């Protein structure tokens, strides 16, 4: 394996818009919110940016295609702006591109920004997407909740978990995220909920109910990255650096062979292993301080705890119920509310996850600040369990 990017690139600044139903904000407004905060945080001017990567998923209801929507909205100084799209993992891809450009020495300072404007569709939930001309002729007219709900049916069978127990465990996942989101002024959903509310909510896709599904939100997030020496030269101290950036993409094995059992996400395990290796982490359950994972649905978060080798296979139900991932648990997860409550503007989510890690590592997370976190992990999943793109990133204090 290549040496990787551990400690080669630092975060110079970050910004994140308020997420939510931003009825009166255009995608351009959301971009400006995230970008202006990030630029002020970095303390640089636009002329210091060498290149930018732009993540947005649903161009048809959002910004339109290509790199120009971002370049125009931010009036960037004619630098290269490249649009990246990799389902819900697009934000992490934009980060990866910017970080790699800096690590390669091609750029000194690079910007990654993600935005999604989902609330211009006229209905709740995600818009229906086009998927070429062949797939619609055989593939189900599937929606995300039912794709992810299948994790639950397969997980129950594999581990012999009672349906009611699993339903309670995933309810705990959502209750925890709502408790966290209530402390985040930028979160889409800021109300606490009870287990009873989750269990009684209407079913969206069996066995997932309304509170098992994340918010569909408008929002944008941005990160500016540079080399550690440049960051220091710009006056930055206590740098936050990248330890690992890994992406694993399905090749059809899960969906088409008979070998995958449907109860976990294959690519997440591959990306996690590679990321731990790149970051030099041997015992993730002990070394990772905190997590932001892709909790598009409560069941996704539960199986992800096993896919990231934090909970042993088959034991995530117990860990979740024991509060291991709660704000006061051993490894707090979704401390900002996660996709569940902070919200899920698709192209921005990977960068939003990094934003919380950045704030926590700097001690700037306000009422939800954890005690002395050193290593943060983000897990950003695009697609669906049987066919997806999975990003696992690790960041931390320089030298940690």
Q: Which residues are catalytic?
A: 88, 344
Whichever of 149 and 275 has its CB closer to another protein, that residue is 149
Is 346 a residue that touches another protein (CB under 8 A)?
no
Among 48, 386, 388, 391, interactor with another protein by CB under 8 A: 386
> By CB under 8 A, what part of segment 250-289 binds another protein?
251-253, 255-258, 261-263
Q: Least Å distance between CB 259 and another protein?
A: 8
Q: Is the peptide bond before 207 cis (omega within 30 degrees of 0)?
A: yes
Segment contacting another protein by CB under 8 A, of 24-32, 46-54, 119-127, 241-249: 119-127
Longest dimension (CA), the chain: 58
SS3 180: helix
Rounded to a whole number of angstroms, the minimum distance from the CB of residue 125 to another protein is 6
CA distance 115 to 305: 27
Nearest approach in angstroms of CB 258 to another protein is 5
Spatial distance between the Cα atoms of 280 and 292, rounded to a whole number of angstroms: 19
Comparing CB distances to another protein, the nearer of 203 and 312 is 203
Name the residue among 54, 131, 58, 68 with its Cα closest to residue 98. Answer: 54
* Least distance in angstroms from the C-beta of 126 to another protein: 9
User: What minimum distance in Å lies between the beta carbon of 314 and another protein?
Assistant: 16
Q: Toward another protein, which CB reaches closer, 17 or 304?
A: 304
CA distances to 58, 265, 274, 281, 392 from 308, rounded to whole Å, are 28, 10, 11, 12, 9
Considering beta carbons, is residue 8 or 119 the nearer one to another protein?
119
The span from the first CA to the last CA of the chain, in angstroms, equals: 21
203 binds another protein (CB under 8 A): yes
- Smallest gap from residue 186 Cβ to another protein (A): 27
What is the C-alpha separation between 115 and 189, in angstroms, rounded? 18
- Give yes or no for residue 201 binding another protein (CB under 8 A): no
- 3-class DSSP state of 318: helix
Query: CA 66 → CA 48, 49, 133, 136, 389, distances in Å?
Result: 22, 19, 22, 25, 21
Q: Which residues contact 231 (CB under 8 A, 6 or more apart)?
A: 10, 12, 239
Closer residue to another protein (CB): 190 or 249: 249
Measured from the CB atom, is 210 or 400 closer to another protein?
A: 210
Give the per-residue contact string, 121-160, with another protein (x = CB under 8 A; - = no): xxx-x--x----xx-xxxxxxxx-xxx-xxxxxx-xx---
Interface with another protein (CB under 8 A): 121-123, 125, 128, 133-134, 136-143, 145-147, 149-154, 156-157, 203-206, 208, 251-253, 255-258, 261-263, 386
């Amino acid at each position: 394996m290549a040496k990787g990017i551990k400690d080669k690139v630092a975060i110079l600044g970050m910004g994140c818009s308020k997420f939510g139903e931003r009825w009166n904000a255009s995608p351009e407004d959301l971009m400006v919110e995230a970008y202006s905060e990030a630029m002020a945080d970095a303390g640089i001017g636009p002329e210091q940016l060498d290149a930018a990567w732009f993540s947005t998923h649903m161009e048809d209801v959002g910004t339109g295609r290509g790199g120009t929507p971002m370049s125009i909205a931010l009036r960037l100084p004619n630098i290269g702006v490249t649009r990246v799209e990799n389902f819900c993992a697009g934000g992490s891809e934009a980060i990866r591109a910017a970080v790699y450009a800096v690590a390669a020495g091609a750029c000194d300072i690079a910007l990654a920004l993600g935005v999604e404007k989902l609330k211009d569709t006229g209905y709740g939930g995600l818009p229906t997407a086009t998927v070429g001309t062949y797939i619609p002729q055989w593939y189900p007219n599937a929606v995300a909740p039912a794709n992810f709900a299948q994790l639950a049916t397969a997980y129950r069978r594999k581990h012999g978990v009672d349906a009611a127990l699993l339903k309670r465990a995933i309810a705990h996942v959502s209750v925890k995220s709502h408790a966290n989101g209530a402390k985040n002024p930028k979160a889409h959903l800021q109300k606490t909920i009870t287990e009873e509310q989750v269990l009684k909510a209407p079913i969206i896709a069996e066995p997932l109910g309304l509170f098992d599904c994340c918010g569909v939100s408008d929002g944008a997030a941005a990160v500016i990255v540079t080399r550690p020496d440049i960051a220091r030269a710009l006056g930055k101290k206590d740098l936050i650096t990248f330890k690992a950036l890994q992406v694993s993409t399905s090749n059809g094995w899960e969906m088409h062979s008979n070998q995958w059992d449907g109860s976990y996400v294959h690519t997440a395990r591959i990306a996690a292993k590679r990321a731990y290796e790149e970051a030099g982490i041997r015992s993730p359950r002990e070394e990772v301080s905190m997590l932001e994972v892709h909790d598009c649905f409560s069941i996704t978060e539960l199986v992800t705890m096993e896919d990231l080798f934090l909970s042993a296979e088959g034991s995530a139900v117990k860990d979740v119920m024991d509060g291991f991932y709660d704000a006061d648990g051993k490894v707090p997860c979704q401390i900002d509310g996660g996709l569940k409550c902070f919200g899920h503007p698709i192209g921005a989510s990977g960068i939003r996850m990094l934003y919380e890690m950045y704030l926590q590592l700097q001690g700037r997370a306000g009422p939800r600040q954890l005690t002395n976190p050193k290593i943060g992990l983000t897990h950003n999943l695009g697609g669906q369990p049987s066919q997806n793109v999975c990003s696992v990133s690790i960041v931390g204090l320089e030298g940690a």
